[in-house]
């Protein structure tokens, strides 16, 4: 394995600075790992003898387990430090905790934390690769990569000219932010959909206008965009970040993707969701489990993407 060309000083902190070529490079590496994920090829030994620390200071199931499975598939050992079990719960700073973990000889740190910019802060203070598994309302780069991979698979490798709707709690979503950078970098237009309280107007100008980059727009009417988009990504309403404020009482009626709404979408328009799903609120069970759904493919691709990222950053000759 050669040195990964997409790294930012040996870390993966976000997708904002990555070019379309760099994004495609990671997805290409992930595609090569899919046979291992599917069990049709044996596990690799690229990270044999390496130790990966999962420092998850916010609740997570899918992302943490996905990173663990990815590391094991590559031959690495994994140490989990979760929420109340980490010393940050005793008042120790995030930097001190990470510095001590690095001093124990781990080869990389996967970090999820509530502080936007927390992953970058760690990267400035430790001498091992840092992978951002979600920092506050900033970014969730591996989720953005697996979503990109899933859509590229569905659309035959090209997104230019496609219109992707991201629906729901945009204000709280680090997933939406990472997807804005990755999808528009490959030429897709993104329309952010939700009530004004959850889709702030400033999101329309987050991504700069550049040649070859897709545009970002905002709509507060899901029904008005459903029949014109090429894919729909639903987001979880993050009640824990709102304290009950900003979520309309009629959210499900106005923005939930139920069977009737899904039936008005063009043939072949897929539905995605980063999980976990508030079933019956943002997404009806029949749609989540139906023929349009790419949700389980997202999960599978997530392991391959995290294998690609771990291998690119931690392999002995990477």
Asked if 40 is an active-site residue, the reply is no
Predicted TM-score (pTM) of this structure: 0.94
Structural domains in the chain?
A: 20-140+299-314 (3.40.50.1370), 141-293 (3.40.50.1370)
The catalytic residue among 112, 154, 162, 292 is: 112
Asked if 90 is an active-site residue, the reply is yes
CB pairs under 8 A, 24+ apart, for 240-248? 241/137, 241/169, 241/172, 242/169, 242/172, 245/197, 246/171, 246/195, 246/197, 246/198, 247/169, 247/195, 247/197, 247/198, 248/195, 248/197
Asked if 7 is an active-site residue, the reply is no
Asked if 297 is an active-site residue, the reply is no
Look at residue 8 and tell me whether its pLDDT is greater than 60. Answer: no
pLDDT at 316: 60
Range with lowest mean pLDDT among 211-215, 236-240, 275-279, 283-287? 236-240
pLDDT at 2: 43
The catalytic residue among 73, 140, 154, 306 is: 140
Mean pLDDT calculated for residue range 62-89: 86
Asked if 62 is an active-site residue, the reply is yes
């Amino acid at each position: 394995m050669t040195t990964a060309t997409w790294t930012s000083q040996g870390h993966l902190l976000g997708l904002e600075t990555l070019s379309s070529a760099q994004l495609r490079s990671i997805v290409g590496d992930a595609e090569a790992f899919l046979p291992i994920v599917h069990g049709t090829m044996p596990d690799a030994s690229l990270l044999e003898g390496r130790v990966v620390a999962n420092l998850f200071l916010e609740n997570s199931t899918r992302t943490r387990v996905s990173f663990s499975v990815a590391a094991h598939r590559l031959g690495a050992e994994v140490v989990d430090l979760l929420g109340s079990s980490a010393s940050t719960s005793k008042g120790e700073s995030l930097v001190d905790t990470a510095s001590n973990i690095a001093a124990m000889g781990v080869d990389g740190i996967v970090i999820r934390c509530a502080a936007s910019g927390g992953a970058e802060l760690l990267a400035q203070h430790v001498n091992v690769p840092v992978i951002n598994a979600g920092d506050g309302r900033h970014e969730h780069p591996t989720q953005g990569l697996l979503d990109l991979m899933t859509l590229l698979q569905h659309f035959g490798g090209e997104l230019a000219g496609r219109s992707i709707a991201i629906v729901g709690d945009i204000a709280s979503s680090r997933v939406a932010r990472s997807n804005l950078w990755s999808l528009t970098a490959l030429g897709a237009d993104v329309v952010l959909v939700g009530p004004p309280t959850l889709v702030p107007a400033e999101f329309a100008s987050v991504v700069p206008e550049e040649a070859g980059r897709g545009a970002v727009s905002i709509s507060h009417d899901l029904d008005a965009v459903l029949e014109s988009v090429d894919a729909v990504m639903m987001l979880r309403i993050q009640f824990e970040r709102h304290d009950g404020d900003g979520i309309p009482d009629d959210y499900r009626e106005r923005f939930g993707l139920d069977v009737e709404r899904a039936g008005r979408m063009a043939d072949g328009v897929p539905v995605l969701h980063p999980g976990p799903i508030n079933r019956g609120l943002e997404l009806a069970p029949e749609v989540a489990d139906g023929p349009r759904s790419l949700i389980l493919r997202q999960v599978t691709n997530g392991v391959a993407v995290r294998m690609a990222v771990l291998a690119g950053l931690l392999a002995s000759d990477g």
